[in-house]
A and B are shown apart, each in its own frame.
Chain A
């Protein structure tokens, strides 16, 4: 691995160390791989703070009494407290504060949309840069991992069995919390690798698989959680069978929202049109980017990615690394791009083009069934609708064609109906999402709880984690009351 450690100075064109000492309004810049170099490899883009940088950044925190950042955090991490411990170099204490609230801090520090959560609320942000809370979280979690700090195994044992379906952030968190309470927990995962979106969706260059994700999963195992891969609930067995035949006392469903959507435009079944899920699964889960692995991927030479979320950015940046010329096609304007600001920024730095206010209408196919282009129309933002969002409307006569060999559809995903259709008495809503109470994740079926993307539809890692944790408490209450 050849990381290029950009210095603070090259990052914002001033003299790095000087800023570190004087300008408290500015955040300590973070080292990243050089955009040109990283466009050619799958190593992590962001290199994180070193100890000195972390302490300097943590010292910018005002330790507010009424900390607004905590309100912005979906799992209410005691942010000023952990940041303070970083500033006095007490990293172990900082880690234990983080671990109280979050079971996947090394993941969240890397993938949470901090700009709209904790950092979006930070008081420092009014006059200057907010404190880099996410980067500090990542620093602490990485420090703990490098220093081999493991969660303490549970001291009590409760003789009750809980089944957790799915090993994404929701399932892992719920399982970890229940194991800490002493329950006997088994996770059932449909794929051959645990981690959910963290292993099949989010790419290596944003979230290293063996260095970070696997270690977080090891921590959950260290708590006594068993993980059985290759079990598809609804096919290999059902929730009713788990409860009746395998004597599980309660079940948590954290099966995510994995079904891809397509646009329904002509040409969409042509060779060279992929769902982002397929493209990313081939590259991340199956490691098609690595020649040592058997699974193939068609990288494409001229690629359009349709959509503007994190998934679209990940697909675009993966295609770029596999050697393609990539354009993101999105029907609204830049301000509405749902992806994290950092991802859009990184994508642009790496040379990804954006065709905004553009909507595909047809995929053009050659005589052999391969994609040769895409017909699009230009859009403009119309009047705000009831939700306040300005919805895009087609500009008459603006039709044009893009020449392409690959189109990656990244239009959002919805929950797989497999579990709901095979479980008696489990209520779902119109969008196929499982109906569950927000507070404790209770569903319409006794003893069955749910949370994460399976309930909300595609959302975020931290919300899924929060729901997993809430459901663990719901399950604890339920099992204690019986």
Chain B
């Protein structure tokens, strides 16, 4: 069992937890993810690592309610535990592999959307710790759904916040902020890292391609095992089939087939919705057998 040391609601339907998992905390790097399973009957839910403390042996996760398992996870409190917590999975962010001196010469722009803010945070923090200031754009639907604002402010170079409905700071999509910074204000960036909903990453990539700004995205396709065993997570990058759980989750955003990736994400939409319904309304449906 993996004990929860802290549980906090960040915004409606968005939760943060610190979980005791010494093996993961001891070996993870920004960009990697874990898979958690609440109990015997829960799904294996992949979540990007949001922070970690090697000495305490804890890993921070942030998740949004999307189905039955995450709905049940949201009810856990400090002192409760996950049945399973495995990782770190996937490749660390490319940034972690570059020599620090090289990184210091670079201007880096992060673009975070919604819960995507959570996985962006450890990367910005890691850079800050290594003496690199990166600019960060955070987009949220509305002010109440904005998360980790203070944390991000503490580690980012410049922080630009935007809300879809204009309820906080400014109104508009993250792409408009990028345009504004690069085209209007003449900022020059060497690399952009965009993490958020698939549709946001798609439009960021369309724009940055036009701006000739290399862009890395972190994909969150459907997964089961997270170790390369099932192929549920396959995505097409530069015409080649990749398994996001082992080859990713980060890829060159200009080469990702987003339309296919978005279609694949729909795969269990109804089933996931069904599990969620069952959680809120009780068992109203039964399994199906061909001949019965």
A269–B225 CB distance below 8 A: no
CA distance A278 to B234 in the complex (A): 12
Residue A262 at the B interface, CB < 8 A?
Answer: yes
- Report chain B residues within 8 Å CB of A299: 288
Chain A residue with Cβ nearest B233? A278
Contact with B along A280-295 (1 / 0, CB 8 A): 0110001101111111
Given contacts A39-B290, A192-B86, A294-B68, A260 and B264 within 8 Å (CB-CB):
no
Contact indicator B288/A323 (Cβ below 8 Å): yes
A294 with B230: in contact, given A232-B86, A232-B89 (CB under 8 Å)?
Answer: no
Judge whether B291 and A418 touch: CB under 8 Å: no
A378 interface residue (CB < 8 Å to B): no
- Check if A40 sits within 8 Å of B268, measured CB to CB: no
A320: contacting residue among B41, B230, B241, B290, CB under 8 A: B290
Residues on A with C-beta less than 8 A from B228 are: 258-259, 416, 418
Q: Which residues of the partner chain B approach A368 to less than 8 Å between Cβ atoms?
A: 263
Nearest Cβ in chain A — how far from B27, in angstroms? 6
List the B side residues contacting A287 at CB < 8 Å: 41
- Cα–Cα distance between A272 and B232 once the two chains are bound (Å): 10
A321, B289: Cβ atoms under 8 Å?
A: yes
Partner of A292 from the list B41, B231, B271 (CB cut-off 8 Å) is: B41
Q: Would A416 and B227 count as touching, CB distance under 8 A? A: yes
Q: What CA separation (Å) do A289 and B287 show in the bound complex?
A: 7
CA–CA, A271 and B42, complex, Å: 23
The answer to whether B230 and A369 touch across the interface, beta carbons within 8 angstroms, is no
On chain B, the residues within 8 Å of A192 by CB distance are: 37, 44, 83-84, 86
* Residues on the A chain within 8 Å of B68, using CB: 294
Max count, chain A CB within 10 A of own CB: residue among B27, B227, B292 = B227
CB-CB contacts of A95-135 with B at 8 A, as 1s and 0s? 00000000000000000000000000000000000000000
Are B229 and A36 touching (Cβ within 8 A)?
no
Q: A236-B86, A297-B271 are in contact. Are A278 and B291 (CB under 8 A)?
A: no
Pick the contact of B266: A271, A278, A281, A292 (CB < 8 A).
A271
Contact B272 A281 (CB under 8 A): no
Cα separation A232 to B85 with both chains bound (whole Å): 11
For residue B275, CB closer than 8 A to chain A, the reply is: yes
- CB A123 to nearest CB in B, in angstroms, measures 42
Residues of chain A within 8 A (CB-CB) of B267 are: 271, 298
Known contacts A294-B42, A323-B288: does B264 contact A269 (CB below 8 Å)? yes
**A:189-211 near B, CB below 8 Å:** 190-192, 200
B114 in the interface (beta carbon within 8 A)? no
Report yes or no: B260 in contact with A294, Cβ–Cβ below 8 A: no
* B231 surroundings in chain A (CB, below 8 A): 260, 262, 274-275, 277-278
Interface residues on A, range: 35 or more
Q: Check: B46 CB closer than 8 A to any chain A CB.
A: no
- Looking at A192, A274, A277, A292, the one whose CB has the most chain B CB atoms below 10 A away is A192
Chain A residues with CB below 8 A from B241, complex form: 262, 268-269
Contact (Cβ within 8 A) A325 B290:
yes
Contact B229 A260 (CB under 8 A): yes
How far is it, in angstroms, between the C-alpha of A294 and the C-alpha of B71 when the chains are bound? 11
B40 to chain A, nearest CB (A): 8
For the complex, what is the distance from the CA of A200 to the CA of B227, rounded to whole Å?
A: 14
Is B290 a contact partner of A40 (Cβ separation < 8 A)?
yes
A236→B227 CA distance, assembly (Å): 12
A184 to B: closest C-beta gap in Å: 19
Question: Which residues of chain A have C-beta atoms less than 8 A from B271's C-beta?
Answer: 296-298
| Contact B41 A235, beta carbon cutoff 8 Å | no
Q: Is B179 located at the chain interface by the 8 A CB criterion?
A: no
Answer yes or no: B31 CB below 8 A from chain A CBs: no
Chain A residues near B275 (CB, 8 Å)?
Answer: 294, 296
In the bound complex, CA of A93 to CA of B140 (Å)? 70
Q: Is B5 positioned at the interface, with any CB of A under 8 Å from its CB? A: no
Within 8 A of B (CB), among A36-71: 36, 39-41
Identify which of B27, B43, B263 contacts A295 (C-beta below 8 A). B43
| Complex: chain B residue closest to A289, CB-CB | B287
The answer to whether B69 and A286 touch across the interface, beta carbons within 8 angstroms, is no
Q: In the complex, which residue of chain A has the Cβ closest to the Cβ of B257?
A: A269
Complex contact B263–A271 (CB within 8 A) = yes
| Contact between chains at A40 and B289 (CB < 8 Å) | yes
What sequence of 0s and 1s flags, for each residue 186-210 of chain B, a beta carbon within 8 Å of any chain A beta carbon?
A: 0000000000000000000000000
Q: Which residues of B contact A33 (CB under 8 A)?
A: none
Q: Judging by beta carbons under 8 Å apart, are B263 and A369 in contact?
A: yes
Chain B, residue nearest A291 (CB) = B287
Task: Provide the residues of chain B in CB contact with A293, threshold 8 Å.
Answer: 41
Partner pick for A294 among B67, B234, B266, B291, CB 8 A cutoff: B67
- Return chain B residues, CB-CB under 8 Å to A275: 230-232
Q: Determine if A324 is an interface residue (Cβ-Cβ < 8 Å).
A: yes
**Pick from A36, A274, A290: contact of B291, CB under 8 Å:** A36
- Give the shortest distance, in Å, between A457 (CB) and chain B (any CB): 15
B286 CB–A CB distance under 8 Å: yes
Residues in B whose Cβ lies below 8 Å from that of A298: 267-268, 271
Q: Are B290 and A295 within 8 A (Cβ)?
A: no
B87 within 8 A of A: yes
Q: Are A236 and B88 in contact (CB under 8 A)?
A: yes
Using a CB-CB cutoff of 8 Å, which residues 287-343 of chain A contact chain B? 287, 289-299, 320-325
Chain B contacts to A: CB under 8 angstroms = 23-24, 26-27, 37, 41-44, 67-69, 83-89, 224-225, 227-232, 234-236, 241, 246, 260, 263-264, 266-268, 271-272, 274-275, 278, 283, 285-292
Between-chain CB contacts (< 8 Å), 5 pairs? A262-B241, A291-B278, A296-B268, A323-B288, A369-B260
Beyond A39-B290, A232-B86, A291-B286, list 7 extra A-B contacts (CB 8 Å). Answer: A39-B291, A190-B225, A192-B84, A200-B229, A294-B67, A323-B290, A324-B290
Q: Please list the 10 inter-chain residue pairs (A to B) with the smallest Cβ-Cβ separation, ordered nearest first.
A: A296-B271, A369-B263, A278-B230, A230-B86, A323-B290, A192-B84, A40-B289, A275-B231, A294-B43, A258-B229
